[in-house]
Amino acid sequence: MERLHRLEQLYAENSVFFVTFCTEERKPILANPSVHDTFLQFCREALNGDIFVGRYILMPDHIHLFVKLPPPSENLSRWIKSLKNSLSKTLRFHNVAAPHWQKGFFDHVLRSMESYSQKWLYMVENSVRAGLVSDWTQWSYQGEIQPLGLDEHLRRSQTAAT
């Protein structure tokens, strides 16, 4: 089956993306304090480039997150590549052999509050579905770095579209 391809260009002001990327061969190497700390530091430093990471969850073998960044959409690819490189540096420090990542990532532009709510529910229930915790609030490797103001952002987008 042919793999789906990303759009070459997407110009939308302040787009909010739902992003997922996975480890190579789905190796369970991400859910630990060192990787989590590196992730948090990288995402906080992204604020200097007007890149805002909202809610996220690090599962043992993949990461889900919401990110808002300025156009053009190629910024997302470059940012994800940099994030993967940063996390790989931490993994190498802890003697986790490369390769660490599957190629590419999945992204979805949020178009409605319903879409955001569905994605968030899917994200946090991952830890329960995987049998890692009985209640998603018990999972240590999730949170919110920067409130994205999605309620207002998505409401404005819907009003502009009508």
- pLDDT at residue number 84: 98
Name the percent of the chain in helix, strand, coil, to the closest 5.
45, 20, 35
**Residue 132 confidence (pLDDT):** 96
According to CATH, the topology of domain 15-161 is: Alpha-Beta Plaits (3.30.70)
| Alpha-carbon span 66 to 118, nearest angstrom | 12
What backbone torsions phi and psi does residue 136 show, to the nearest 5 degrees? -60, -25
Question: Looking at the predicted structure, is the pLDDT value of residue 162 above 70?
Answer: no
User: Which amino acid is it at 73?
Assistant: S
Q: Which amino acid is at 137?
A: T
On the question of pLDDT at 103 being above 80, the answer is yes
Q: Hunting for tokens 């018990």 — which residue is that? A: 138
Q: pLDDT value at position 109?
A: 87
Question: Which residues are CB-neighbours of 85 under 8 A, at least 6 positions away?
Answer: none
Tens digit of pLDDT for each residue in 64-93?
999 998 877 678 999 999 999 999 999 999
**Mean pLDDT, rounded, for 5-31:** 77
The model's pLDDT over 22-62, given as tens digits with 9 standing for 90+, comes to 999 999 999 999 999 999 999 999 988 889 999 999 999 99
pLDDT per position as a tens digit, 104-156: 999 988 876 667 888 888 898 999 999 999 999 999 999 999 888 765 544 45
DSSP 8-state assignment for residue 47: G
Q: Give the pLDDT band (50/70/90) at residue 96.
A: very high
Mean pLDDT lowest among 13-22, 75-84, 92-101: 13-22
Write down the pLDDT at residue 73.
65
